[in-house]
Amino acid sequence: MSRRRRIYEGKAKVIYEGTEPGTLVQYFKDDSSHDASGDIATITGKGVLNNRISEHLMTRLAEIGVPTHLVRRLNMREQLIREVEIIPVQVVVRNIVAGSLAKRLGMEEGTALPRSIVEYYYKSDELGGPMISEEHITAFGWAMPQELDDMLSMALRVNDFLSGLFYGVGIRLVDFQLEFGRLWQGEELRIVLADEISPDSCRLWDLETDERLDRDRARLSMSEAAEAYQEVARRLGILPQSDVVDMHGRSHAS
> Which residue lies nearer to ligand UDP by CB, 18 or 91?
91
Phi, psi of 9 (to 5 degrees): -130, 125
Q: Which residues bind ligand UDP (CB under 6 A)?
A: 92, 98-101, 129, 175-177, 201-203
DSSP string, 90-155: EEEEEEE--HHHHHHHTPPTTPEEEEEEEEEEE--TTTT--EE-HHHHHHTTSS-HHHHHHHHHHH
Task: Give the nearest distance from C-beta 104 to ligand UDP in angstroms.
Answer: 8
| Nearer CB in complex with ligand UDP: 88/99 | 99
Contact 202, 214 (CB under 8 A): yes
CB-nearer residue toward ligand UDP: 144 or 152 = 152
**Closer to ligand UDP at the Cβ: 18 or 61?**
61
Residue 137 C-beta: closest distance to ligand UDP, Å: 17
For residue 42, the minimal CB distance to ligand UDP (Å) is 18
Could you tell me which residues are beta bridge partners of residue 176? 93, 202
Min dist. Cβ of residue 32 to ligand UDP (A):
10
Of 27 and 121, the one with the shorter C-beta distance to ligand UDP is: 121
What is the rounded CA–CA span in Å between residue 2 and residue 222? 35
Look up residue 154 and give its amino acid: M
Report, in Å, the least distance between residue 159 CB and ligand UDP: 12
> Measuring CA to CA, which residue among 126, 147, 32, 133 is closest to residue 84?
147
Looking at beta carbons, which residue is closest to ligand UDP? 99
Q: Is 206 exposed, middle or buried (0-12, 13-18, 19+ CB in 10 A)?
A: middle
Q: Are 251 and 244 in contact (CB under 8 A)?
A: yes
Q: For ligand UDP, which is the closer residue by CB, 32 or 79? A: 32
Residue 39 CB, shortest distance to ligand UDP, in Å, is 16
